[in-house]
Chains A and B, each alone.
Chain A
Amino acid sequence: MSDIRAVDAELFDLEGSLAQLEGDRDLLVEIAGLFLEDAPALWEGVTRSVAGGDPEGLRRAAHTLKGAAANLGSSAVARGALVLERIGRDRDFGPAADAVRRLRADLDRLEAVLESLVGGAAA
């Protein structure tokens, strides 16, 4: 768990999330597991909407991903998803490719941290 504590709090605020859950580490592990299960489908929704030029689909998919990340305590991923939600709302796909790339990078880092959290709890 020590490596998770060292993670940038913007990417994953372990202490803040635990405080929100009144110190319930089992619940944190449970919702981290839910996020890992849901993230691929949410990401697929974002990329499919960008590829298909579907602003409403992008707005919804990015909104859901943003909510999941915010509930988990990842400001970085929530912020990246918000950028894409606004792209969908504004129907301006110009900055979409760059936003998708940045979000993917943060999502990769977050998923690695969460896998470590879930794996550590299981071990």
Chain B
Amino acid sequence: MKVLVAEDDRIARRLLVRHLERWGYEVVQAEHGREACDVFEADDEIGIAILDWMMPELDGVDVCRKLRAAEDRRPYILLCTARTEVSDIVTGLNAGADDYLAKPIRAAELEARLRVGARTVGLEHELKQRIGQLSAALEHVKQLQGMLPICMHCRRVRNSDDVWQQIETYVEQHADVSWSHGLCEDCLDEHYPPEQQGDAAPVKGGAASGRSR
């Protein structure tokens, strides 16, 4: 999991980076808000962003809003702040942060909150993959549903344009199915009685009358 650390205080940044690396995270750094946006934009592997609230150029809340504006990516955002008034926390969360950390940062708390973030990012990634797989599967499925009028004599069916068509044609147009024509044993006996069967008679027990690809 790659983590962006945006912090202007180099002592705090050094501590964050050391902790994160020790816990097995890959880290990229930014010294101010604008750089954080640039680094994020250039690296689509970043899954978690730890943003200091008070930074030059752009503060953490502004960076939050900018990262959230990217439609195709949704990093887990941890906002670090010494501002722990309820109104400050609400402002941060409303700007798009997923969680906040009170400064000075305590290693055990940071590790636990990062684990929540990594779990969330992992679940979202898994969900995105599943949705992608489902979308791909849906593209291969054509709709075949609803009430279908069928002629009681010729067995043709009436489509939505009020046109009567062969049931094979209709099904081929609405489902991922193709047909292979054959002859069942009853029809073979009825239409090709043994006494009339010559060399040209169809082979008994031919291919199935409908088959999925």
When distances are taken between beta carbons in the complex, the residues of chain A under 8 Å from B106 are 20
For the side of the interface on A, what is the size category?
10 to 19
Contact A34 B103 (CB under 8 A): no
A72 to B107 CA separation, bound complex (whole angstroms): 13
A89 to B54 CA separation, bound complex (whole angstroms): 14
For the side of the interface on B, what is the size category?
10 to 19
A67 to B104 CA separation, bound complex (whole angstroms): 7
How far is the CB of B19 from the nearest CB of chain A, in Å?
Answer: 8
A23 to B103 CA separation, bound complex (whole angstroms): 20
Contact B14 A34 (CB under 8 A): yes
Q: Which of B10, B54, B104 has the most CB of A within 10 A?
A: B104
Contact A67 B12 (CB under 8 A): yes
Contact B12 A68 (CB under 8 A): yes
Contact B11 A72 (CB under 8 A): yes
- Per-residue interface assignment for chain B, residues 161 to 193, with 1 indicating a CB less than 8 Å from any chain A CB and 0 otherwise: 000000000000000000000000000000000
Taking A63-B54, A70-B103, A70-B104 as known contacts, 15 extra A-B pairs with beta carbons closer than 8 A to each other, sorted by chain A number, are A20-B106, A21-B15, A21-B18, A22-B22, A24-B18, A27-B18, A34-B10, A34-B14, A38-B10, A60-B54, A68-B9, A68-B12, A70-B82, A71-B9, A71-B15
